[in-house]
Amino acid sequence: MSWLGILLVGFAVTDLTHSVRRTRYLPECVGALTVLVVGALAGLTSGRDVVALLVVAVVVLLWGLTVTWGFGHPGPKPARVPLAVFVVALTTAIACSGLAPDASGLLERWLDSVQLPALEDMEADRFLLLLGAFAVQLATGNVLVRLVLKSTGTINPRADGQMPPTQLKGGRLLGPLERVFILALALGGQVTAASVVVAAKGLLRFPELSSRDEQQTVHEMTEYFLLGSFASWLVALGAFVLLV
């Protein structure tokens, strides 16, 4: 599973870099470089591993470029291209996971030396997959949700002027926090607690979705909220499935 973990790390670093510094071509280049560096630290230096890492780096470059292109062009169809890249890359990495060797190198030696109970006796492969799964919940999760909304033509009534803009600005932070929280609870065996978080989100948004003053656009806001929420939860649940 080492190749899969590194692929997820590459996606995550690309999108995190883009969220911090939106310089053209920089995010995907940083993500691709991270793939090569992490691969070297994980001891993936054989001929087959080098080829695999180069392929992963190219995929990460393609992901960054298609995401920028998808958001930069109007209409739903452009957003489907990066979604297809993500799904095909993830599916291929899972299918080829049996060919990937066990990670070792400096990463394994560091894990053996670190004095954290959570990392005690953890294999390097497992660490890479955990790192990638949790990292994807951050900026990449937001990107995937936005791509799903754009590819389906689901608009935010607040963004197109149909509803007054909200004063709350924490949505892009709350989404990652929610996904990380759900994934951590699920991995800890607290699936019921994770479902409570999901239910609580709906209850907290109920007053806004049922406002009589905005009945003309409530159905659009409801669709936007439901589709975005389910897409966000699927990112966390998909990572959970990979880790169990």
pLDDT score of 163 more than 50: no
Predicted confidence at residue 207, as pLDDT, reads 60
Residue of 119, 117, 241, 240 whose CA lies nearest to 180: 240
26-64 pLDDT per residue, tens: 999 999 999 999 999 999 999 999 999 999 999 999 999
Predicted confidence at residue 134, as pLDDT, reads 96
176-202 pLDDT per residue, tens: 998 999 999 999 888 888 788 777 776
Predicted confidence at residue 80, as pLDDT, reads 95
Do 157 and 163 contact (CB within 8 A), yes or no?
yes
User: pLDDT class for 161, splitting at 50, 70, 90?
Assistant: very low
User: For residues 34 and 218, which has the higher predicted lDDT (pLDDT)?
Assistant: 34
Put simply, whether the predicted model's pTM sits higher than 0.85 gets the answer yes
The C-alpha atoms of residue 67 and residue 143 are separated, in whole angstroms, by: 8
Residue 94: strand, helix, or coil = helix
Q: For the ranges 99-103, 182-186, 187-191, 233-237, which has the lowest average pLDDT?
A: 187-191
Contacts 24+ apart (CB under 8 A), 31-36: 31/60, 31/61, 31/63, 31/64, 32/57, 32/58, 32/60, 32/61, 33/57, 34/9, 34/10, 35/6, 35/7, 35/9, 35/10, 35/60
Predicted confidence at residue 1, as pLDDT, reads 85
